[in-house]
């Protein structure tokens, strides 16, 4: 069975209480559980990781090579700033789908730029927790 890594970046551990008008009331634990359950439905093993540290994201991406078939990644604010995370995704040569809870293109101008988009097979934004499910489905289709 294929395995995918669902990787979450900074501040996503605060979901449920952090700016609910933007991110909703769903917690990261809810998202992780939904991703694992959906993985069973579509026939993939799911590992969920969250870190607030850029280096932690880079290390998790490196560790995915040889372990996972692909990545679903919400790098949070690092999406818009981190060449290191972009380079890590490119370096492991695993297909990745970038996801966001909010529609980053309808928000502040600085959020419109995604370094990750350059190295991902696609981007899904604005569907709340469902962005992750759509991202998993897209990755599974890409892997097929």
Name residues whose C-beta falls within 8 Å of residue 14's C-beta, 6 or more positions apart in sequence. none
**Could you confirm whether 130 is annotated as catalytic?**
no
Choosing from 38, 68, 78, 100, the catalytic residue is: 100
* Pairing relationship of beta strands 96-100 and 44-50 according to DSSP bridges: unpaired
Name residues whose C-beta falls within 8 Å of residue 110's C-beta, 6 or more positions apart in sequence. 80
Choosing from 23, 78, 115, 132, the catalytic residue is: 23
**Could you confirm whether 100 is annotated as catalytic?**
yes
Catalytic residues: 23, 100
């Amino acid at each position: 069975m294929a395995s995918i890594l669902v990787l979450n970046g900074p501040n996503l551990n605060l979901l449920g209480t952090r700016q609910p008008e933007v991110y909703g009331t769903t917690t990261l634990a809810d998202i992780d559980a939904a991703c694992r359950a959906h993985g069973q439905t579509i026939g993939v093993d799911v590992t969920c990781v969250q870190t607030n540290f850029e280096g932690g994201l880079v290390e998790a991406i490196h560790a995915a090579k040889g372990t996972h078939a692909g990545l679903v990644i919400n790098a949070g604010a690092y999406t818009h700033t981190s060449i290191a995370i972009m380079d890590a995704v490119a370096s492991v040569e695993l297909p990745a789908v970038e996801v966001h809870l909010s529609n980053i293109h309808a928000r502040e101008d600085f959020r419109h730029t995604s370094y990750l988009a350059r190295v991902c097979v696609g981007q899904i934004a604005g569907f709340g927790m469902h962005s992750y499910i759509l991202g998993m489905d897209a990755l599974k289709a890409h892997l097929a």
